[in-house]
């Protein structure tokens, strides 16, 4: 296969791979309960035809086209067709509100939108009516007729009415690596989303760098990717879509979080991109599932965790070898089967992974590669390299051809082709983060003795107490959620004498508590139950024993409910929105200091 760094743009990379693997399966989706493939050749034909149709709708090079859809083959094909038409894709979260959509339409000036389902269209079309930019709505599934004053087209109908040869459209793909490929609006943990202009070269740089990690450290074979994270997020857009395309791999689209475990066993993926929150969910499910089995399964898990910790510390003794052999030959193959049996690595990014969670999966024999990046950098900046030694507290060395420096105040600075050209129509913010060719990430980090990057916290998320001490909230929150009683947490304490927290109790643990105590599982009842609060308090105290004095949580309140994407207390990439939580719980947290 052609070397990845030689491609002039993403469209050429796709059509080249399609020509090489014409009759091989490319995209897989569940239809009628069965996995159905789209071949590379069929995908190329649809992309070429849709690109021709977009031009026929009057779209010009450089025009922005919104894409509002869940993960599915049509997402990938639409994204490629938009770029092949010379336009710029504007991926948009399916969880966006009418206000979010209206902001993106107005800010991007999008002239057209591709939307998948009636449910998504119901929210989107309200925003379309509030704005004046959108001229064409293209529906992947049939929508109810609705007078909009804009053109309404059917996705498949456009393809059928504008047949085109892939070779012809591929020849017209003369875009440069410096040309903008997409504008990805950062979900952000605070403030209005900003449009990151990602150029073809930024994504190609990431694809080549990630493929280098896989090729050199894991072996480049017939790769199968299971796509689960939102494709509107830069992490999945690059890692879960364009990396598989560059490597000539197959992409399976997971059905849902509830069906993810089954999908892994069915698709048998070799690579999967995940976020720490998913690791935490999988850890809890595996632990509880094994606990219910009891007996030998529970003893094997305990043995695996014991051996894993000793290996990580380099303290494995000769006497431990029989136990280690039993774990490696009996227990780990059973765990591997749950992940499909062929998993080379789970790649974690988007937020710091709690070391204890990383050690858990390492102990189970699941290779995980923690990476680091942000939308403004393609998004991958660094990734663990197995051959250099994977550590649970680092995010590995920078990708090839990526410069990383640590500023005097500890901020991570990045330079290279992966860095964005700026925020769309936002010169002041662009100038703030792009200085002298360096991207100022807003993250704090250090390099270890092996040249691996360690992230200590986000610059703007650091809590500074009333004595001037710096506290990294993500570390404390991650440790709190390791307790079985706690599902989610946010700590606060800026300019205060100590830390306080908002805690979301774990629902399964809560059910078990109610069953054991005969308590009604009603939030208001439980919130006032002294035994329930005492149990949560004990969990906080267990965490505090592992924390320094300044990090310890002295008091807490119980949240009104889980932090979710729907209530806007989490981003679509499952990071907590601190500014939203402060708005909701700020007064109650402040009251803790008065008691």
Q: Show pLDDT as tens, one digit a residue, over the chain (595 residues).
A: 446 768 999 999 999 999 999 999 999 999 999 999 999 999 999 999 999 999 999 999 999 999 999 999 999 999 999 999 999 999 999 988 898 899 999 999 999 999 999 999 999 999 998 888 999 999 999 888 765 678 899 999 999 999 999 999 999 999 999 999 999 998 554 456 899 999 999 999 999 999 999 999 999 999 999 999 999 999 999 999 999 999 999 999 999 988 998 999 999 999 999 988 788 888 888 888 898 888 888 999 999 999 988 988 889 898 988 898 999 999 999 999 989 999 999 998 877 777 788 889 989 999 889 999 999 999 999 999 988 777 878 899 999 999 999 998 889 999 999 999 999 999 999 999 999 999 999 888 999 999 999 987 766 677 878 776 778 788 899 899 999 999 999 999 987 889 999 999 999 999 999 999 988 888 778 888 999 999 999 999 999 998 888 899 999 999 999 999 889 898 887 888 888 899 999 999 999 988 6
Residue 528 lies in a domain: yes
**404 neighbors 419 (Cβ within 8 angstroms):** no
Do you know the residue count of the chain?
Answer: 595
Give the tokens for residue 286: 């595996």
Give the tokens for residue 242: 């364009």
Residues 475 and 357 in one domain: no
- Answer with the one of 458, 475, 491 that is the final residue of a domain: 458
Buried b (16+ CB within 10 A) or exposed e, 300-338: bbebbbbbbbbebeeebeeebeebbebbeeebbeebbeb
Residue 550 lies in a domain: yes
The β-bridge partners of 182 are: 89, 198
Cα–Cα distance, 473 to 286 (Å, whole number): 27
Residue 178 lies in a domain: yes
The residue assigned the tokens 């490597």 is 247
Residue 236 lies in a domain: no
CATH number, residue 486: 3.30.300.30
CATH number, residue 451: 3.40.50.12780
Residues 446 and 482 in one domain: no
The string of DSSP letters for 409-468 reads TSEEEEESTTS-S-BTT-HHHHHHHEETTEEEEEEEEEE-TTS-EEEEEETTT-EE-TTS
Closest C-alpha among 335, 344, 391, 395 to residue 367:
344
pLDDT single digits (tens) 75-116: 999 999 999 999 999 999 998 889 889 999 999 999 999 999
Cα–Cα distance, 465 to 550 (Å, whole number): 8
Question: What is residue 111's DSSP assignment?
Answer: S
Residues 443 and 477 in one domain: no
**481 neighbors 467 (Cβ within 8 angstroms):** no
Which residue range(s) make up the domain with 89? 7-198
Buried b (16+ CB within 10 A) or exposed e, 136-172: bbbbbbebeeeeeebeebebbebbeebebebeebbee
Give burial (CB, 10 Å; 0-12/13-18/19+) of 576: buried
Residues 415 and 514 in one domain: no
Relative to beta strand 271-274, strand 463-464 is unpaired
Residues 562 and 533 in one domain: yes
CATH number, residue 119: 3.40.50.980
Residues 480 and 561 in one domain: yes
Residues 490 and 429 in one domain: no
Give burial (CB, 10 Å; 0-12/13-18/19+) of 537: middle
The residue assigned the tokens 């879960």 is 240
Q: How many domains does the chain have?
A: 3
Angle at alpha carbon of residue 238, lines to 237 and 239, rounded to 5°: 100
Residues 438 and 472 in one domain: no
**65 neighbors 111 (Cβ within 8 angstroms):** yes
**200 neighbors 9 (Cβ within 8 angstroms):** yes
**246 neighbors 16 (Cβ within 8 angstroms):** no
Residues 308 and 453 in one domain: yes
């Amino acid at each position: 296969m052609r070397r990845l760094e030689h491609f002039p743009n993403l469209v050429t990379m796709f059509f080249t791979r399609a020509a090489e693997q014409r009759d091989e399966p490319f995209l897989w989706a569940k239809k009628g309960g069965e996995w159905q493939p789209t071949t590379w050749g069929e995908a190329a034909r649809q992309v070429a035809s849709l690109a021709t149709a977009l031009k026929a709708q009057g779209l010009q090079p450089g025009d922005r086209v919104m894409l509002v859809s869940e993960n599915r083959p049509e997402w990938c094909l639409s994204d490629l067709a938009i770029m092949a038409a010379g336009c710029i894709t504007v991926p948009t979260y399916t969880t966006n509100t009418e206000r979010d959509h209206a902001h993106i339409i107005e800010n991007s000036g999008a002239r057209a939108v591709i939307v998948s389902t009636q449910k998504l269209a119901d929210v989107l079309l309200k925003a379309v009516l509030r704005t004046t930019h959108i001229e064409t709505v293209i529906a992947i599934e049939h929508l109810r007729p609705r007078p909009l004053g804009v053109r309404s087209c059917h996705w498949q109908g456009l393809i059928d009415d504008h047949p085109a040869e892939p070779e012809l459209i591929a020849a017209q793909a003369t875009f440069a690596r410096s040309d903008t490929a997409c504008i990805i609006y950062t979900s952000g943990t605070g403030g209005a989303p900003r449009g990151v202009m990602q150029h073809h070269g930024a994504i190609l740089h990431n694809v080549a760098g990630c493929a280098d990690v896989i090729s050199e450290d894991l072996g480049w074979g017939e790769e199968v990717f299971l796509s689960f994270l939102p494709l509107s997020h830069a992490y999945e857009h690059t890692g879960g879509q364009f990396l598989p395309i560059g490597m000539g791999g197959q992409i399976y689209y997971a059905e849902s979080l509830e069906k993810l475990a089954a999908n892994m066993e069915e698709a048998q993926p070799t690579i999967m991109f995940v976020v720490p929150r998913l690791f935490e969910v999988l850890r809890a499910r595996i632990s509880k599932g094994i606990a219910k089995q009891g007996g030998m399964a529970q003893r094997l898990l305990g043995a695996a965790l014991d051996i894993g910790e000793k290996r990580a510390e380099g303290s494995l003794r000769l006497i431990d070898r029989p136990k280690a052999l039993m774990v490696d030959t009996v227990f780990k193959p059973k765990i591997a089967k749950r992940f499909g049996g062929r998993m080379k690595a789970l790649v974690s990014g988007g937020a710091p992974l709690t070391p204890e969670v990383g050690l858990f999966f390492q102990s189970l024999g699941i290779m995980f590669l923690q990476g680091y990046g942000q939308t403004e950098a393609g998004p991958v900046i660094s990734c663990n390299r197995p051959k250099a030694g994977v550590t649970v507290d680092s995010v590995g060395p920078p990708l090839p051809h990526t410069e990383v420096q640590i500023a005097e105040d500890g901020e991570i600075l990045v330079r290279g082709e992966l860095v964005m050209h700026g925020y769309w129509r936002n010169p002041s913010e662009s100038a703030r983060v792009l200085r002298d060719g360096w991207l100022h990430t807003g993250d704090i980090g250090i390099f270890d003795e092996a040249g691996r990057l360690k992230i200590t916290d986000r610059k703007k998320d650091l809590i500074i107490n009333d004595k001037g001490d710096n506290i990294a909230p993500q570390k404390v929150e991650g440790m709190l959620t390791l307790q079985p009683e706690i599902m989610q947490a946010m700590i606060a304490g800026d300019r205060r004498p100590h830390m306080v927290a908002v805690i979301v109790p774990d629902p399964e643990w809560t059910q078990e508590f109610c069953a054991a105590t005969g308590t009604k599982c009603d939030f208001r009842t439980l919130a006032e139950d002294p035994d329930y609060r005492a149990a949560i308090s004990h969990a906080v105290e267990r965490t505090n024993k592992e924390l320094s004095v300044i990090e310890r949580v002295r008091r807490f309140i119980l949240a009104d409910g889980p932090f979710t994407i729907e209530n806007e207390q989490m981003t679509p990439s499952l990071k907590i929105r601190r500014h939203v939580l402060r708005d909701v719980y700020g007064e109650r947290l402040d009251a803790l200091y008065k008691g």
